[in-house]
Structure 1
Amino acid sequence: MQVTMSSSLHSLPWPAQTLVSNFNSPLELKQAHAYLIKTNTPLSLIPPSRIASVCALSHLDFSYAHRLLAHFHQRQIVVWNSCLKTLAESDSPFDAILLFRRLREFDVVPDSFTCAFVLKACTALLDDKNGKIIHGVVEKFGFQWNMVLQNIILNFYGLCGEMSTARLVFDKMPQRDVVSWNVMITHLVKSGDFEGAYGFFSRMPERNVRSWTMMISACVHSGRPKEGVELFMEMEKIGVQVNEVTVVAVLSACADLGALELGMRIHEYSKRSGFGRNVRVLNTLIDMYVKCGCLEEARRVFEEMEERTIVSWSAMIQGLAIHGHAQEALRVFSMMIEMGVMPNGVTFIGLLHACSHMGLVDKGRRFFSCMTRDYGIIPEIEHYGCMVDLYSRAGLLQEAHEFIMNMPIKPNGVVWGALLGGCKVHKNIELAEEAARHLAQLDPLNDGYYIVLSNIYAEAERWEDASRVRKLMKNRGVKKKPGCSSIMVDGVIHEFVAGDDSHSQANEISDMWEKLLDYMKLKGYKPDTSVVLLDVEEKEKEKFLYGHSEKLALCFGLINTPPGSVIRIMKNLRVCEDCHAAFKLISAIVNREIVVRDRNRFHCFKDGACSCQNYW
C-alpha cells in the first residue's frame, strides 16, 4: 500500500528531522526508516532521491532501496534517473553503468532519460561495448523517435571512432535537427575526413553559427585557409551572427593566407562586438599580425592586453623570432620571467628559433640546457630540431651531426632536414648524403629532400649525381612542388607559379620587371645564376631567374597597389639568393617596404636592406 504525505518534516523533533533528511549511508537510512515506523510517521518524509544515491552502488542496499521506493507515488525510474545523472557526470561514470545493470536486474523499466544518462557515461569512458547495449535498449523500447537521445548516440559512436555506425544511425533517424548535422560534421572533421564533413555541411537544410564555425576551423586545420575565408564571407553575406569562436577560426585562416586586410577588418569587428578583451581572440590576433608580416600591430595588441597568458607571451616571442628580432624576443622572455609567468615548451621553441635565425649559438645552448634544469621541461622533438637548425645554420655541421647521434629520442625528418639544409648552405656533400639517406627512409615521398640533395650536387657540378637523384624521384613517383607566391590586393588573393605567364596582366608584369631590371643594373645588380641548377647556357639561366614566382607577385603588387604602401608576399618555398638580392635593391628603387614570408621566416626589405641581416 502506497503512503501519502499526512505530516510535514517540520512536525518532527529537530534531531529526527536531521536523521530523516540528511542520512549519508545505508545504515543511517535504515535508522531513519525504523524511526518512522516506530513513530507511525509516513515514509514519504524521506527524500527519495537521497534513498537512491546512498544505496545505488551496493547490490543488497539497492534491493532494500528498490522495495522502499515502491511505497512512493513518484515513479521509481524518475528517482533513479537523478542518481544516474549524478554518477554519469562524476569522476566515476562507470558507476552509472553498474546502477543501470541493477535496474535491469530488478525489472525497473527505463525511459529515454535513463538511456541518455547511461550513454553519456559510456561516452565519457569510450565504452563501446556497453554503449552498444544501451543503443539496443533504445531500439527495444522504441526511443528512436527521441531526437535528443539519437544525437547522444551519434556523439557516442563518433567519439568511439565508429563513423560508419554513426552514419547508419544518422541515415535511420526519423527526424534530424541542426545538432544532428553538427555532431556528424564534428566527428568527420576529427577523423580527418574533410571531404565527408564538407559534404554534410553542403547538404544541411539549416545551419547555425556552430556549423559555419566548425567548417571554417576544419578548412584551416586541413590546409585550406582560402576556403575558410570564402566560407566566412558567405556567412557574412547571409547575415549569420558570428561569435568569438568564429572570430578565432577566421583569424587563423587569415594568418595562414597572409590576408591582412580581412584580418584587420575582423579585428575592428571584434572590438565592436565585445570580443576585444577576449584573451583567446587577442592571442589569435597576435599570431595573425605576426604571420601577415605586420609586427608593429602584433606588438600593439600584446602591449594593450589587460591580461596575458603564457600563450600570449609565447606568440610574441615566436613572432619576434621569425621576423629576425632575436634580441627583442629575448628581452620579452626576460620580462615574462620577471612577472612570474612560467614558460612552457612552446616558449622555448620560440627562443631557440630566435637564436637560430640570428646565429646566437651560445645563447641557444644555454636555453636548451635551462629548459630541464631550471623549469623541468623535457625537450621534445621540435626542440631537438631547433638545436640542429641552430648548429647547421652556423656552419657547425659536425656538432649538429653529433647532437643528432646523441639524441635520446629517434630523430625525425625535421631534424635530418635541418642538417641537410645546413649542408647545402655550407657545401658539405658527405653529411648531406647521410642526411638524405635517413630522410629517404623516414619520408620517401617528400620532394624537398630530393631537390636539396640534387641542388647540392649541381652546385658542385656533379651533374650525373644530380640527374641520378631526379631519376630516383621520378621512379618513386615523387613530383617537385612548384614555387608558388601569393599576394592579396583589394581583398582578392592572386597566386603566381614560377614561370607562369597565364595571368591576365602578364604583359604588364613583364614590362615592370624589365624596367626594374634596368634600374637594378645601374646599381650594380648581376643575376646570381648559380641558383639555377641546370646545365644550360647563362642567358637561359637568367630567364629562369626572372620567372621566379615571388618576382611575378612583386611586379603585380607594384602595378596594382598605391605608391608607398607596403607589399606583402607569401611563398611556399625558401626565397632564393637572387630574389633576396633583387628585393633589397628594389625596396630602395621604389621606396617601398616589401615583406616576404617564405617557408622558414620573414624577410622585411626596406631602404635596400633586409631584416634577416643576410643570415638566413
Structure 2
Amino acid sequence: MKRWKCGRLVKKCGDVKQLKQLHAQALLLGVYPRNQLLSCQILNGYADMGHTSDAYRVFDQIPKPDIVSITSLISLHLQCDRPGRAISVFRDVVASGLRPDGFVVVGALSASGRLEQLSLGESIHGLICRRGLDSETVVGNALIDMYSKRGGIRSADAVFRGMVARDAVSWSSMLNGCLKCHGLATARKLFDEMPTRDTVSWTVMITGHVQEKQPVTALQLFRQMNFEGSKPSLITIVGVLSACADVGALDAGRAAHGFAAKLDAIIDVTLSNALIDMYSKSGNLETAENIFNSMAYKDTYTWTSMISGFAVHGNAMQAVELFSKMLDSGINPNKITFLAVLIACSHGGLVAEGRKVFDKMRREYNVNPQIEHYGCMVDLLGRAGLLREAEMLIQDMGMSADCAMWRSLLSASLVHGNIELAELAGKKIIEQEPDDDGAYVLLLNLYASSKRWTDALQMRIAMRGKKLLKKPGYSWIEVDGDVHEFLVNDKMHACEKEIYLVLEEISMHYRTDGIVL
C-alpha cells in the first residue's frame, strides 16, 4: 500500500473499527510510525472519534516528534479540555529549540484563553512578534479572540488594525470583542465598516441585539441579511425566534420557522425549544404543544418553555400538571422551571400548589430561592389576601426585597384595603427608586382617598421638587411580517401623519358617541 494512499484512507474510515484495521495494516507495512504525517492523521482520526487514549498512544509511538505531530498533540489536549497540558507541551517546544509555527501558537493562545491567564497570552504574543509570526492571519485572529475574551479590547483592536490581511474570522472575532466590551453602538459601527458580511457576523449582531433587549432591531437586521443574500444558520434562526418571542411577532416567527425547515441541517433540541417559546409567547399555544409532543428528546429547557407557555396563557393547572409529568420523567427542574411554575400558581391563585412547589424547591431539589421566586410567592399570597403571610415572608427571606416585590405588596394592599401596609410598601419603593413616578402617584391617591390631606400635599410637593414625569409607554405591532414600535407622542415613525390621522378619526367617532378619550 502506498503511503499517500494510506493517508487518504484515514479520512475515509467511517468508524473506529475501520480506523484500527487501517492502523494495523500501516504497522505491518512498516509505514507507521516512521511516517509522521500518517501518524498525525491516525492520531487525529482517533481524537475525532472520541478515542483519546488511542490517540495519546499513537503520539507516544512516534520516534522523534516534529512540529506537525506536536501540533496534533496540543490540539488533542485542547479537545480533551486539558489546556494546562497544552501549555506544557508548548513550553517544551520553545525550550527544545524547535521553531513553533502559526498552528502551534494558535493552540497555545487558545489554551491560555481557557486558563483565563491574560499575562500568559501576552507572553505568547511577545514570542509571536519575536519569531515573526504576527503577519499570519490565523495568528492575528487567535490574538484578537484571546484578548477580547479577557476584556483586553484595546490590545485586540491594536492587533486587528495592524494585520496585513484580514479575513471574515478577523472581523467576526473583533465584532464579538466590541460587543462584549463596548456594547452595541461600537459593534454596530464596526459592523457597518465590514467590507463583506458572512453568516457569523450577521448572527453576532442579531443575537447581540436580542441579548440587549432590542428585538425590533434584531428583526430588521435579519430582513437586511436576507435582502443581501446571506444564508442564516440554525444559530441565527434561534436568535431571530427569541426576538419574535419578545415582541409576539407570530408572522415573523413563522417565517423564521420556514427558514429553519429549508436549512440542510437536523432540527435540534435548541431550535425546537426556541420554537416552543416563540409560538407560546406569540399566542399560538396549540402549535407550541404540537412541537413539544413531537419531540423525541426533551431537556429541562423544553419542559420549562412549555410550562411557561401555559403560565403566560393563564392555564395554571396545566402548567402544574406538566411540571408533575416532568418530575415523573426523571428530568430535574432548575431555578427557571420553578419560577415558571410559581408564576403559573400566582396568576391562577393556586396558593396550596404554590406553597408545595416552593417547599419542594428547597427541600427536595436543593435549589436556593432567589429574589424572583420570593417575589412570585409574595404576589401569590398578596393576590389571595394573605397579606400578613406575605409580609412575614419578606422579613424572613434573608435578603432585601426589591421594588418589584414591594410593588406587588402595594398593589395587593390597596386591593384588600390594608392602608398601613400599602403605605409601608410605597415608602420602600421610593427609598429604593426615588425617581419612580408610579409609587408617588399611588401614595398620593392613597392619602387623598383616606383624607390625609397634609400627607397628600407633601407628596405632591415632593413630586414637583423632583420634577417627576410619567415615563412614556411603548408598544409593538406586527403588520405583514414587519414589527413596528411606538412610543407615546412618537413623531419619528415613517407613517406618522397617516397614524395620527387615523387616531383623530377614531377619537371623533368616540366623541360622537359621547365617549371622551
Q: Give the TM-score, by structure 1 length.
A: 0.68
Aligned partner of 2:153 in structure 1 is 163
Residue correspondence of structure 1 range 532-547 to structure 2 within 5 A = 543=516, 546=517
Q: Which has the higher contact order (CA 8 A, sep 6+)?
A: 1
1:468 CA drift (Å): 4.5
1:500 CA drift (Å): 7.2
Aligned partner of 1:248 in structure 2 is 238
1:452 CA drift (Å): 4.3
2:79 counterpart of 1:126 = no
Looking at structure 1, the residues matched to 294 and 263 of structure 2 have their Cα atoms a distance apart, in angstroms, of: 18
Looking at structure 2, the residues matched to 148 and 477 of structure 1 have their Cα atoms a distance apart, in angstroms, of: 56
Contact 2:310 2:316 in 1 (8 A): yes
Looking at structure 2, the residues matched to 397 and 503 of structure 1 have their Cα atoms a distance apart, in angstroms, of: 49
2:498 counterpart of 1:509 = no
Aligned partner of 1:189 in structure 2 is 179
SS at match of 2:213: coil
2:356 counterpart of 1:362 = no
Partner letter of residue 498 of structure 2? S
Aligned partner of 2:375 in structure 1 is 385
Looking at structure 2, the residues matched to 492 and 464 of structure 1 have their Cα atoms a distance apart, in angstroms, of: 51
Partner letter of residue 226 of structure 1? V
Equivalent of residue 408 in structure 1, options 389, 398, 401: 398
Given the superposition, is the C-alpha separation of residues 47 and 254 from structure 1 closer, same or farther in structure 2, using an over 3 Å criterion?
closer
1:490 CA drift (Å): 2.6
1:440 CA drift (Å): 4.1
Residue correspondence of structure 1 range 62-211 to structure 2 within 5 A = 76-191=66-181, 193-211=183-201
Contact 1:89 1:121 in 2 (8 A): no
Aligned partner of 2:16 in structure 1 is none
Looking at structure 2, the residues matched to 457 and 345 of structure 1 have their Cα atoms a distance apart, in angstroms, of: 39
Looking at structure 2, the residues matched to 432 and 503 of structure 1 have their Cα atoms a distance apart, in angstroms, of: 43
Aligned partner of 1:217 in structure 2 is 207
Residue correspondence of structure 1 range 571-610 to structure 2 within 5 A = none
Partner letter of residue 261 of structure 1? D
Q: Which range moved further: 108-117 or 427-436?
A: 427-436
Q: Which range moved further: 285-294 or 346-355?
A: 285-294
Given the superposition, is the C-alpha separation of residues 447 and 264 from structure 1 closer, same or farther in structure 2, using an over 3 Å criterion?
farther
Partner letter of residue 137 of structure 1? L
Q: What are structure 2's unaligned runs of at least 5 residues?
A: 1-22, 25-32, 44-61
SS at match of 1:137: helix
Looking at structure 1, the residues matched to 349 and 391 of structure 2 have their Cα atoms a distance apart, in angstroms, of: 17
Given the superposition, is the C-alpha separation of residues 114 and 323 from structure 1 closer, same or farther in structure 2, using an over 3 Å criterion?
same
Equivalent of residue 275 in structure 2, options 257, 263, 285: 285
Given the superposition, is the C-alpha separation of residues 135 and 444 from structure 1 closer, same or farther in structure 2, using an over 3 Å criterion?
farther
Aligned partner of 1:321 in structure 2 is 311
Task: Name the one with the larger helix percent.
Answer: 2
Contact 2:206 2:221 in 1 (8 A): yes
Contact 1:275 1:281 in 2 (8 A): no
Contact 1:188 1:196 in 2 (8 A): yes
1:483 CA drift (Å): 2.3
Residue correspondence of structure 1 range 236-275 to structure 2 within 5 A = 236-273=226-263
Partner letter of residue 202 of structure 1? D
Given the superposition, is the C-alpha separation of residues 132 and 314 from structure 1 closer, same or farther in structure 2, using an over 3 Å criterion?
same
Q: Give the TM-score, by structure 2 length.
A: 0.79
Looking at structure 1, the residues matched to 156 and 463 of structure 2 have their Cα atoms a distance apart, in angstroms, of: 41
Contact 2:36 2:69 in 1 (8 A): no
Name the larger-Rg structure.
1
SS at match of 1:143: coil
Contact 2:109 2:121 in 1 (8 A): yes
Aligned partner of 1:590 in structure 2 is none
RMSD over aligned Cα, in angstroms? 3.5
Equivalent of residue 423 in structure 1, options 413, 423, 442: 413
Residue correspondence of structure 1 range 438-453 to structure 2 within 5 A = 438-453=428-443
Looking at structure 1, the residues matched to 317 and 186 of structure 2 have their Cα atoms a distance apart, in angstroms, of: 47
Looking at structure 2, the residues matched to 171 and 191 of structure 1 have their Cα atoms a distance apart, in angstroms, of: 17
Aligned partner of 1:300 in structure 2 is 290
Deviations along 1:525-557, one digit per CA (max 9) or x if unpaired, are xxxxxxxxxxxxxxxxx85xx2xxxxxxxxxxx
Given the superposition, is the C-alpha separation of residues 159 and 467 from structure 1 closer, same or farther in structure 2, using an over 3 Å criterion?
farther
2:305 counterpart of 1:352 = no
Partner letter of residue 303 of structure 2? W
Looking at structure 1, the residues matched to 265 and 36 of structure 2 have their Cα atoms a distance apart, in angstroms, of: 45
